[in-house]
Structure 1
Amino acid sequence: MSLINRFMIVAKRRPQYNDFCRVSNYSTSSFNEKRNNPNDSITKSVFISQSTDVFTNLALEDWFYKNQDFTNHHVLLLWRNNPCIVIGRHQNPWIEHNIQLAKKRGIVLARRNSGGGTVYHDRGNLNLSFFTPRERYNRKYNLEIITRALYREWGIEAEVNKRDDIILKEKYKVSFHISGTAAKLGRPNAYHHCTLLVNVNKTALNLALEKKENGIETNATTSTRSPIKNLVDINSHIQMDKLITAIGWEYLRTKALVLEDGGQDLIQRQKGFQYINPTEDWFPGLDKLISEFRSWEWNYGKTPNFTVTRIVDVPTEDNKVHRFNLALEIQNGIIEEIKMKLPADLVSRDFNEDVSVITNLRSSRYDHEVMENIITAIGCKTVTLNTSQNVDKSNMIATQ
């Protein structure tokens, strides 16, 4: 029996919705009018992960991407995580979040397989992954499913901006993000995933995403910070379970290739909702993927090469102080080179101003404490430059 057949459950309960007025944006043609339409050959399922472990859910997402055939069956996977920071595939974790604070609060770091920026997850955040074959990848379609569900159930008029984020405008003086988005495109499959802020702990979010480490030079993708709102800030009646139901039914009632409402007739042809428990028994090879997503080599070692520079003062025996630039070159998260740029008055014509620092800390994994240990070991003192700016970061998030 195939995996999809094991998950099959037909939705027979007619969902209850509020009046839906945006008929100009919806086609309500009968499902039987176009029997030869390719939409008719594609069924849909809504899978809901029962795990709240970010590494398990990222592995589950990757498992579907690598193993499932979506030719005639599109899937929406819904999942939630315990508190965590999720960075994009090409990002540097040391500049994207406050590592020391996150560890202290038990907020884990995870690197996903798609690009884009950094996001904070907790149980108040809903993750949505839309799976299709590569040639049917359409993130605008997916995001419209979400905005239409919000309007149909609660009358919330959200928009999709040019960056494919879901935002709210109207009565607000600025646009607020309620969602971020990213994607993984391959052959034959693709997925588009996004977050939806329902009732996220914004205090924890702001603290965890606060940038602490400076002096890093890198070509890694950097996040864009944007103002955010929780959906409960807009409508206090929104609850996670009801939101999952509303989006799931909207997905099932919408035709597979076009944004047309097939109504109850189309819902009856779909494979409905299914709670799934991500385990090795159901998904052979999942444990290996979980281990890879949980590893230091993936979360930190996959960081694009970067250089960390500190300005330090070194006292001499004659009570003079010389100022140096201390630089660490990091490859795959490992310290490959430690260099000190000597002041011009200390460099003779026969020597380069850049000298290597000999220490057993070379070839060790980089973190903030390693830099401080090197500075202490060579008897230097860090020079603190005033580079702070008065920026209000309340209600801000680094968008995916």
Structure 2
Amino acid sequence: MINIINTSNNPYFNLALEEYFLKYKEIDDDLLILWQNEPVIVIGKNQNAYEELNLEYIKNNNIKVVRRLSGGGAVYHDLGNLNFTIIEKDSVSHRNDFKFFTEPVVKCLKYLGVESAEFSGRNDILIEGKKFSGNAQYFYKNKLLHHGTLLFSSDLMVLSNALNVKKEKFESKGIKSVRSRVTNISDYVNISLLQFKELLIRKIFEEKNEEVKNYELTKDDYEKINELVKKKYETFEWNFGQSPHFNYKKELKCDAGFVCLNMNVEEGVIKKVKISGDFFEKEPVEGLEKQFVGIKYDLKIIENIIDGINVQEFILKLQNEDLKYLFY
């Protein structure tokens, strides 16, 4: 096994790095990558980004969004979260064997005295029945990529708020996340995240009866990974456009009366808009609706459009901020 040294905290780069070593960089050995991200929501391959996220909260708190290759649910990363990736070059027996890949983490925690650490359910690791790690896998040709989160000292309040979206707004076929009670490893151990990281590397190599071998990224590696970042991982099309088609509905009672926004979104683009309610029109509301048809369902774009409109020219007493609220 080879340990890939990666010091980046850029989530777009880190997800691209995984794909690069899985698909494009040939190394005749299994790989280990430990990495951390600045605040970001990482969503599963088959999820509806809009349904998983509190869009207003992540916008106001500068939290990024990125889609990963593997399935499973949405997770929050910050610098208090340590991620681990293992790429097996020729894997058949370990496909969907989540316990095999999480065993070194459990052993590491037991070594530190956390006896209640255990693999549980389909893909989680728990301490005292509370989740601190979720895991997922992706297969490419004869290779297997297994990756997991390790909440060490994450801000659990931000985690909760960023993923707290009202499900009744949506009707879609996306794979929904299942929320669990969560905890941080730091509540149970007396070492730093860096010390835990170094210990985990050692334990993973011990499981294979190997000495730690490191690989440092070359200039060519950086260039190719950054090219993948630009073409894929930081694009709207990958992170939001891959979302399943969905219908969106939100209602508001305000000075204008009762106002309801219905939208149909396909591949991240608004296809239909209907604004209904008991409000009074000044100009036909259809003129307001058409402003949003055909644009990306991106809050910055939507806010710019609304800022350029006097909404009360269409709906009596409806404030521009009221309309923005309906899109969140």
Residue deviations 1:32-76 (CA, integer Å, cap 9, x gap) = xxxxxxxxxxxx122231111111110000101102446x51111
Residue deviations 1:125-180 (CA, integer Å, cap 9, x gap) = 110011113414342211111101111233443111122200123xxxxx200101
Residue deviations 1:251-276 (CA, integer Å, cap 9, x gap) = 11113xxxxxxxxxx33xx4x24263
Q: Is the 8 A contact 1:145 1:250 kept in 2?
A: yes
Q: Is the 8 A contact 1:147 1:157 kept in 2?
A: no
Instruction: Provide TM-score, normalisation by structure 2.
Output: 0.81
Query: 1:200 aligned to 128, 151, 154, which one?
Result: 154
C-alpha distance in 2 between matches for 1:88 and 1:55:
14
Q: Greater Rg, structure 1 or structure 2? A: 1
Question: Counterpart of 2:101?
Answer: 142
Structure ranking higher on relative contact order (CA contacts 8 Å, 6+ apart) = 1
For the pair 1:97 / 2:53, whether they are aligned, the reply is: yes
Q: 2:180 aligns to what SS in structure 1? A: strand
What is the Cα deviation at residue 78 of structure 1? 0.5
What is the Cα deviation at residue 306 of structure 1? 0.6
Q: Is the 8 A contact 1:231 1:238 kept in 2?
A: no
C-alpha distance in 2 between matches for 1:121 and 1:365:
25
What is the Cα deviation at residue 183 of structure 1? 1.2
What is the Cα deviation at residue 210 of structure 1? 2.1
Opposite residue 379 of structure 1, the aligned amino acid is I
Q: Is the 8 A contact 1:280 1:287 kept in 2?
A: no
Opposite residue 290 of structure 1, the aligned amino acid is V
Query: 2:188 aligned to 234, 244, 257, which one?
Result: 234
For the pair 1:48 / 2:9, whether they are aligned, the reply is: no
Q: Is the 8 A contact 1:327 1:340 kept in 2?
A: yes
Identity, % of aligned pairs?
A: 27
Opposite residue 103 of structure 2, the aligned amino acid is E
Q: 2:137 aligns to what SS in structure 1? A: strand
Query: 2:227 aligned to 288, 294, 298, which one?
Result: 288
Query: 2:126 aligned to 156, 163, 167, which one?
Result: 167
C-alpha distance in 1 between matches for 2:254 and 2:287:
16
Counting only pairs closer than 5 Å after superposition, residues 7-26 of structure 1 correspond to structure 2 as none
C-alpha distance in 2 between matches for 1:315 and 1:103:
26
Q: 1:60 aligns to what SS in structure 2? A: helix
Question: Counterpart of 1:359?
Answer: 290
Gaps of 5+ in 2: 279-285, 324-328
CA RMSD in angstroms, aligned pairs only: 3.2
1:156–1:379 distance in 2 versus 1, CA, 3 Å: same
C-alpha distance in 1 between matches for 2:259 and 2:6:
53
Question: Counterpart of 2:315?
Answer: 379
What is the Cα deviation at residue 309 of structure 1? 2.2
Counting only pairs closer than 5 Å after superposition, residues 1-400 of structure 1 correspond to structure 2 as 44-69=1-26, 73-132=29-88, 133-137=90-94, 138-169=97-128, 175-211=129-165, 214-235=168-189, 237-255=190-208, 266-267=209-210, 270=211, 272-274=212-214, 276-277=216-217, 280-283=219-222, 285-291=224-230, 292-311=232-251, 326-339=261-274, 359-367=290-298, 370=302, 378-379=314-315
